[in-house]
Amino acid sequence: MGRVLMKGTEAIAEAAIQAGCKYFFGYPITPQNEIPEYMSAHLPEVGGVYVQAESEVASINMVLGGGATGYRVMTSSSSPGISLMSEGISYIAGCEIPAVIVNVMRAGPGLGGILPGQADYLQATKGGGNGDYNLIVLAPSTLQECVDLTQLAFDLAQKYRNPVMVAADGFMGQMMEAVEIKPSPTKDQPADPTWALGFMEERGGKRSHLHSLFLAPEPLEEHNRKLQKKYGAMKAAEQRCECYHMEDAELLIAAYGTTARISRSAVNNLRAEGLKVGMIRPVTLWPYPYDAFKTIPSTVKNILVAEMNAGQMVDDVKVATGCRYPVSFYGRTGGFAPSVKEIEDECRRILAL
Amino acid sequence: MSEVKVYERPKSWMPNVSSHYCPGCGHGIAHRLVCEVIDELGIQNDTIGVAPVGCAAMIYDYMDTDYCEAPHGRAPAVATGLKTVRPDKIVYTYQGDGDLASIGMGEIVHAANRGQNITVIFINNAIYGMTGGQMAPTTLLGQKATTCPLGRDAKVNGYPIRVSEMLATLPAPGYITRVTVAQPKYIIKAKQAIKKAFQNQVEGKGFSLVEVLSSCPTNWGMRPVEAFDWLISSMMPYYPLGDFKDFD
């Protein structure tokens, strides 16, 4: 398969199938309906199964059960649906079950609207569900990255026995772009019988039980220590970030997803005017790319965070830079994205200070 | 002279483990029946249980099969996921009435409506046990609980839900029956029903649910013998035993 023009949601779905995902559990919600629709049409062709759940609550728990077999399973939803899944995501993390969750983010809060947003940043990176747990959160900025990160998500989920979220905003889901979708090298990776359910015979009669319940404090704290050790390994090995024209920048834009795409155009235009503007683009929203932020050059005087929300990533940038730089914010909500001109104007305003 | 075996622990009961259940609680009997059925069908290595939230949350401490935890009420959805990926395995849920008939009503109705080829063991003791005796959707009218101290009032709390009768109105589920563990003669029938519900799944016949009327002497404020008597005199008239559906 060469490069083909595809819609983001359909590219994500095909990428998942090419990553060996044969089981999809979902519930309709705009703007991600093409993913379950694509899966319902194409999974049977590869011997897979699409199940339409009665709610997002049910679909995430079907993912919990499906993932407990060790095979590649996924669900997709959009912001209010992810809120409903948050309980299940916490259990999946607590039970150490691999799963992939795609969030085609829309504007909130509450029912909000069906237009694009990035206002689930804090929900995705700081919890959502109860307890000390973390997801790996991947934020694509192009449709090719939607494909690549979706396939990576399955590898990371199995590697760490942890839920992985692809946090794609509504623009990523609904725009069209040329993509190349290749079968993932790990497409036929078998379930790991050492822990997965359904392999008691293969384990010589030794059972496996997956649970997050530990009523006594000692084993629960021990379980938490084990989880934190795993999250530490993720922080050490899985940070991903793109630095664009950062080497001599005086003003650095911090942005991800569609806002990074818009910011890239602003950087190009401002560079053409001779203004030294660069961009730092977290690809993993969790683990946050602290290592890349440590490489920010001494030429940088200001950082501008740009998002389609009210400033949810600002604190992470301040922490990642040790508050050494003035950090300002420009964002839009309600389904608007900042325009290239709006970001350029904000950059000019900051550079003129 | 041949040796006569009168009693043994089921092979699928976890070795050297005693349950945490209160004296006179029906869970121990129901657990044992499930274990005996798993042994008799020879499916221990192929069975995956789904644990509820409630008194039976730690059922996997007692049953030596693969087991998966479910959030409160979501066991039928978890079982759907397991069975979808591993249709070759025997997947069952074990849920109480708070879990299945209150917070998990949506999941059980839709799993039944899809005709999922799973087995559901539904323990109805008309009260929330683990949290300390609050009103359940199955609490009888007039029955006292910590959140209806004057007794359940239909005007305020609605009526106790007959889950089996309700699910039997759906076309997809295959086998729905109500049994009890209140007396040995009923226990024999309960085991037959549980065995049939697992056998149905082995044969790929579809959704089977066994509702087991059970006791909670601790939270009913009764001695064990009184509790089983109350079950027979008060619960059974409202929750009649019998088959509501048998692949008809």
- The 10s digit of each residue's pLDDT in B14-55 is 999 999 999 999 999 999 999 999 999 999 999 999 999 999
From the candidates B84, B109, B113, which should be mutated to test the interface with A, based on the most A CB atoms within 10 A? B84
Task: Output the pLDDT for position B1.
Answer: 58
Residue of A nearest to B116 (CA): A51
ipTM associated with this complex: 0.96
Task: Output the pLDDT for position B49.
Answer: 98
How far apart CA A108 and CA B184 sit, in angstroms, is 58
Q: A52: part of which helix (H) or strand (E)? A: strand A49-52
Task: Output the pLDDT for position B5.
Answer: 77
What's the whole-number average pLDDT of chain B?
97
Across A18-31, b (16+ Cβ under 10 Å) vs e yields bbbbbbbbbbebbb
Q: Which amino acid is at B50?
A: V
How far apart CA A116 and CA A106 sit, in angstroms, is 4
Task: Output the pLDDT for position A42.
Answer: 98
Q: Give the residue among A328, A325, A308 at the shortest CA–CA distance from A141.
A: A308
The single-letter DSSP state of residue B139 is: P
* 3-state SS assignment for residue B107: helix
Q: Which amino acid is at B101?
A: A
Contact B110 A87 (CB under 8 A): no
What's the gap between Cα B115 and its chain centre? 18
Average pLDDT over residues B227-240: 98
Task: Output the pLDDT for position B4.
Answer: 85
Residue with tokens 């395995």: B89
Considering only CB atoms, which chain A residues are within 8 Å of B89?
197-198
Q: What is the DSSP string of A192-254?
A: -TTTSTT-TTTTTS---EE-----SHHHHHHHHHHHHHHHHHHHHH---EEEES-TT-SEEEE
* 3-state SS assignment for residue A177: strand
- Per-residue pLDDT band for B3 (boundaries 50, 70, 90) equals confident
* 3-state SS assignment for residue B47: strand
Q: Which amino acid is at B61?
A: D
Whether the CA torsion A52, A57, A62, A63 is positive or negative: it is positive
With 80 as the cut, is the pLDDT of residue B99 above it? Answer: yes
Considering only CB atoms, which chain B residues are within 8 Å of A22?
85
Residue of A nearest to B59 (CA): A209
Average pLDDT over residues B121-145: 97
The residue count of chain A comes to 353
Task: Output the pLDDT for position B7.
Answer: 84
Task: Output the pLDDT for position B149.
Answer: 97
A67 touches chain B (CB under 8 A): yes
- The 10s digit of each residue's pLDDT in B151-207 is 999 999 999 999 999 999 999 999 999 999 999 999 999 999 999 999 999 999 999
For residue B220 the two structure tokens come to 């009913």
Domains contained in chain A, CATH given: 3-199+226-237 (3.40.50.970), 241-351 (3.40.50.920)
- Positions of chain A with pLDDT under 70: 1
Task: Name residues 105-124 of chain B within 8 A of A (Cβ).
Answer: 106-107, 109-110
Domains contained in chain B, CATH given: 27-246 (3.40.50.970)
Residue of B nearest to A90 (CA): B71
The answer to whether the pTM exceeds 0.95 is yes
The single-letter DSSP state of residue A128 is: S
How far apart CA A6 and CA A12 sit, in angstroms, is 10
Whether the CA torsion B56, B58, B62, B63 is positive or negative: it is positive
Residue of B nearest to A63 (CA): B81
Contact B78 A211 (CB under 8 A): no
Contact B51 A211 (CB under 8 A): yes
A215 touches chain B (CB under 8 A): yes
Q: B86 near A70, Cβ under 8 Å?
A: no
Task: Output the pLDDT for position A127.
Answer: 85
B240 touches chain A (CB under 8 A): no
A112 touches chain B (CB under 8 A): no
